[in-house]
Amino acid sequence: MPNARAIHDINYAQNVNQIAADSGLCVNPGKKEVVQSAAGDYYCYAIKTKTVTNEDKLADIIDTYARPYLKRGDVLFLSEKMVACSQGRAIPLAAIKPSLAARFLSRFVSRSKAGIGLAMPETMQCAIDECGLPRILAAAAVGALGKVFGRKGWFYHVAGTRAAGIDGPCNNTIPPYNQCVVLTPLASDRTAANISKSLDNVTVLVVDINDLGANILGSSTSHEQEKIISLLRQNPLGQSRESTPMGILRAVA
């Protein structure tokens, strides 16, 4: 008689296999299948997956959903949120207790169409926990100075990528992450390099993309990053419930 864990593993495997059968390359609504750069035209595909959690091994997700579609010369890009969730860096709102400093500082952060950012006490508290209160206070002071001169982004220039990559909850986010704060993934370069090695050295990137722009947080190579950023500016993975946390760039023959 199989135990509860064995039954869970069997059901999980069957569920993953069914989702994999229904998934594949796609182009999200409003996005272009072919994007242009100074180096030429590229196909830009998203890949549908199951909802990734800390119970998943990232390597298994890649093998199941990405490997069947990869070709030599492709670039595989992974959303930082998927990587972070697989690392257990999605924190339920109920588990976050904002300090007085977090409540105060969050009031001065502007919200954008790309997300709530640090404009709520819970996300600001996560930034303080990740970066330290002195650094966040220094960033807030520099950010306030930037506003005087009409310059944006000074806060995150001082606070760093660990603060900039924090994602707050959103109604359009897939549950349970619509009630979570997702932190910036750890060791993104090493993660990209390890996955690349397992995929016969396909270029792998961990990216932070939204409707305002694209950043590369981790890469298995240092080559052509500016070109790749220009190809990803359309935010091909989407900003809602597309269930496409990774994608492929492929040169048009």
pTM to 2 decimal places: 0.84
In this predicted structure, the answer to whether residue 9 has a pLDDT above a threshold of 70 is no
CA distance linking residue 227 with residue 72, whole number of Å = 18
Could you report the per-residue pLDDT of 76-125, keeping only the tens digit for each? Answer: 999 999 999 999 999 999 999 999 999 999 998 877 666 678 999 999 99
- The larger pLDDT score, comparing residue 10 to residue 60, is at 60
Could you report the per-residue pLDDT of 176-186, keeping only the tens digit for each? Answer: 999 999 999 99
Q: Which residues are within 8 A (CB) of 39 and not within 5 positions of it... i.e. 6 or more apart?
A: 224, 227
What is the pLDDT of the chain when averaged over all its residues? Answer: 87
Measured in whole angstroms, the distance separating CA 166 from the mean position of its chain's CA atoms is 9
Domain with CATH 3.30.1330.100 in the chain: 23-89+185-251
- The larger pLDDT score, comparing residue 129 to residue 213, is at 129
The encoded tokens of residue 201 equal: 């050295």
pLDDT at site 206 = 96
Instruction: Give yes or no for a contact between 127 and 118, defined as CB atoms under 8 angstroms apart.
Output: yes
Q: What are phi and psi of 35, to 5 degrees?
A: -115, 155
Q: Give the model's confidence band at 12: pLDDT under 50 very low, under 70 low, under 90 confident, else very high.
A: very low
Instruction: Give yes or no for a contact between 182 and 158, defined as CB atoms under 8 angstroms apart.
Output: no
User: Residue range 23-48: average pLDDT?
Assistant: 89
CA distance linking residue 26 with residue 236, whole number of Å = 10
pLDDT at site 113 = 64
User: Residue range 139-153: average pLDDT?
Assistant: 89
User: Residue range 16-39: average pLDDT?
Assistant: 72
Could you report the per-residue pLDDT of 204-251, keeping only the tens digit for each? Answer: 999 998 877 888 999 998 777 888 888 999 999 988 788 999 999 999
- The larger pLDDT score, comparing residue 153 to residue 26, is at 26
23-89+185-251 CATH, one of 1.10.340.30, 2.40.50.100, 3.30.1330.100, 3.30.460.10:
3.30.1330.100
Give, for 125, the enclosing helix (H) or strand (E).
helix 121-131
pLDDT at site 18 = 38
